[in-house]
Amino acid sequence: MSAPVRSSPHRWLFFALSRPEKGLQKRVNLMQQKTNSDLSRHYLSRQLRHLILQEYLSGVKTARQLSEEHGIPMSTIHKMGQRWKAKNSCSFVSTPNPYPIMSRVTSEEASELLSENKALRRRLEEALLRLEGYEIMGDILQEEYGIDLLKKSAAGQSSVSKKDTQQ
């Protein structure tokens, strides 16, 4: 092994550590990173954490929305929720949304939506009746004439249905 170069302190450290010591140094660095990330949750005030948890667990806002709003990684929000659920086995009581969607809709818009809803339901019923009629016609064609409309046009007639049609 060559002699260490003394001009750079990093090279001296590199040559001074044996293999097991390098591995130990890596473990120490990993442990320090873990403790730093565990401590990072304390930079939020207790009230802000509670507000974020309440909005996240009640479903008012998604983790992505909260992440963008507060500048917190989504993984941190998920972890906060998991920790809260682990500590509190009872279900999270959600507070009602103070701004429900229907309160933002005017009465004129509501009446338009109701009339559109009725028209769409009527069209759906007509389409279902039409479908039922087509199914009945298909059954009659199958029973009376041996024609199966549900088969693909490229598919040949089966030997059993050929015999039935010829008779």
3-state secondary structure of 98: coil
Enumerate residue ranges in the chain where pLDDT < 70. 1-42, 89-105, 152-167
Distance CA 117, CA 123 (A): 10
Distance of CA 27 to the CA centre of its chain: 35
40, 30, 35, 32: which is closest to 73 by C-alpha? Answer: 40
3-state helix, strand, coil in the chain (%, to 5): 70, 0, 30
Sequence ranges of the domains in the chain:
9-87
Residues 72-101 have pLDDT tens digits of 899 988 888 888 888 876 555 555 555 555
CA 39, 43, 47, 53 torsion-angle sign: negative
